[in-house]
Structure 1
Amino acid sequence: MKRLRNPRTGVEQGDTEVFSDFESGGEMWTGSGPRMRRRGVEFSSAFARPPAVHVSVSLWDMDTSAAIRAELVAENITCQGFDIVFRTWADSRAARLRATWMAIGELPYADDWDVD
């Protein structure tokens, strides 16, 4: 995790393979209709509160004989991690997908204390 000069702000980033279905004949490549893949990501250390998370495609290998229909989002964001979720539908075929991500948020600080 990167710490900014402000010791309360952290930035962490990564690149995660979400799926690779081409070699195995998985449903993203061979199926049709609504399909989804979910991949959990854990931060190297916890944030104090759930961070803002941005995800984007760093690699996608898609069949071009049909329209490319896809959604890539971050879900279930907690202080410890989040899920990368890829969805496709109809006759779109996805061979593989890798997603890059960045989390920015408040970090625990040594002077923090809880009065509860």
Structure 2
Amino acid sequence: MKRFLTHPIGIEQGDVPLFADFENDGPMWTGSGPREARKRVKFSEPFRGVPAVQVSISLWDVDTATAVRAEVLTDRISTEGFEIVFRTWLDTRFARLRVAWTAIGEIAHEDDWDIP
């Protein structure tokens, strides 16, 4: 469980296009085997500490001729941002993908003291 002090809590959300590989015959559309796409997201302002970040697929355009195999997760979460990671494998073909995200954590307040 992530506990917050009495500081203000900030929530930031976004919706990020990760790829559109059908447009340029990219690896998610034409490839096979293990494939990965990453995208760095930068917060509009830094959190005080590392926030909790959740991601979910908000749009997928996938070939249904084979099984749909996929995972979406976060990596390298910091006070400044994080990376969205999407993976698929075997013969699954993704044409395009968009990922929604939410970050929740403590934010700075004008009354905070910066004591070295």
TM-score (normalised: structure 2): 0.91
**1:32 is matched with which residue?**
32
Secondary structure of 1:72's aligned partner: strand
Aligned length: 111
**Aligned residue identity for 1:110:** E
Report what 2:64 is aligned to.
64
Whichever residue aligns with residue 105 of structure 1, its letter is G
Shift of 1:9: 0.3
Unaligned runs of 5+ in 2: 1-5
Counterpart of 1:79 in structure 2 is 79
The alpha-carbon deviation at position 7 of structure 1 amounts to 6.0
Q: Which amino acid aligns with 1:58?
A: S
5+ residue gaps in structure 1? 1-5
Provide the alpha-carbon RMSD of the alignment. Answer: 1.3
- TM-score normalised according to structure 1 size: 0.91
Following superposition, the deviation at residue 109 of structure 1 comes to: 1.8
Question: Distance between the aligned counterparts of 2:78 and 2:52, measured in 1?
Answer: 10
Counterpart position of 1:52: 52
Quote how far apart the aligned CAs of 1:23 are: 1.1
In structure 2, how many angstroms separate the alpha carbons of the residues matched to 1:76 and 1:7?
Answer: 24
Question: Percent identity among equivalent residues?
Answer: 56
Q: CA deviation at 1:85?
A: 0.5
Residue of structure 2 equivalent to 1:100: 100
The residue that corresponds to 1:3 in the other structure is none
